[in-house]
Amino acid sequence: MKDEIIGKCIERNFFCISFECFSNTIDRIITLGSKTIFIKTKSMNFIQYLQRLQVKKTENPSYSFLSKLQEQHLLTIPFENLDIHQGKKIVLEEDRIYEKIVACGRGGFCYELNGLFCWLLRSLGFIVSIVSARVYMPTKDRFTPEFDHMALLVDLEKTYLVDVGFGDNFRKPIALPDGKSEDISGRYRLRSFAPGQDTYILQKKDNNYKVQHL
């Protein structure tokens, strides 16, 4: 099994961490605990995106709809890093990623896939945070550097880990802090990395649970 560290929520309450906010936005005000947060999200043509995912209609934000979107994303849009190997410049602008993945029918790597999926979810009314993750390398027994991977946290009745940018991965969102998930790709669970830290380990079970990312 592999592991991954999810966490170090990069400014957990600010929702435009890796992607720029634009003037053409949907504005919302939400309250998380004692904090009031003003969210600006660029509007998107999500109908074409949903057609790419083979999702026929929108629904109100819910765990079931989020699960459907995540699973369909993993089944229809591949992890692809051809541009990286070909030395092409990758610009993390939402419009350019949308053109590549939705309009041109290609895939992308984690920042492209999860970045675009974040934009879709926000456009559909979900509350989403972008977080940094570090992938465990068993041959070297260490984690990759901070920001090596990007994942999402979605706030519903609980906070859920969502990731459509890690290849063959868990199909349904996993609840923090200690949720579990099982599907055709394997058995997964979340565990706290250390007491008092806003950091979690995602584990996937082969014979035993092993770290996938942090």
pLDDT at 85: 85
pLDDT at 145: 84
User: Which residues, 6+ apart, have CB-to-CB distance to 4 below 8 Å?
Assistant: 133, 134, 135, 136, 149, 166, 201, 202, 211, 212, 213, 214
Cα–chain center distance at 209: 22
pLDDT at 208: 57
Q: How far is CA 183 from CA 14, 42, 55, in A?
A: 32, 33, 20
Q: Tens-digit pLDDT profile for the chain (214 aa)?
A: 444 544 433 333 222 233 333 333 444 444 444 544 444 556 788 899 999 999 999 999 999 999 999 999 999 999 988 887 888 877 788 888 899 999 999 999 889 999 999 999 999 999 999 988 888 888 888 888 888 888 999 999 999 999 999 888 899 999 998 899 999 888 999 988 877 778 888 888 875 555 565 5
Q: Among all chains, which residue has been given the structure tokens 């949720």?
A: 179
Domain boundary assignment for the chain: 3-11+42-213
- Residue 200 in contact with residue 176, Cβ under 8 Å? yes
Domain spanning 3-11+42-213: which CATH class is it, in words? alpha beta
Which residues are designated catalytic?
Answer: 110, 149, 163
pLDDT at 39: 46
DSSP 79: B
pLDDT at 13: 29
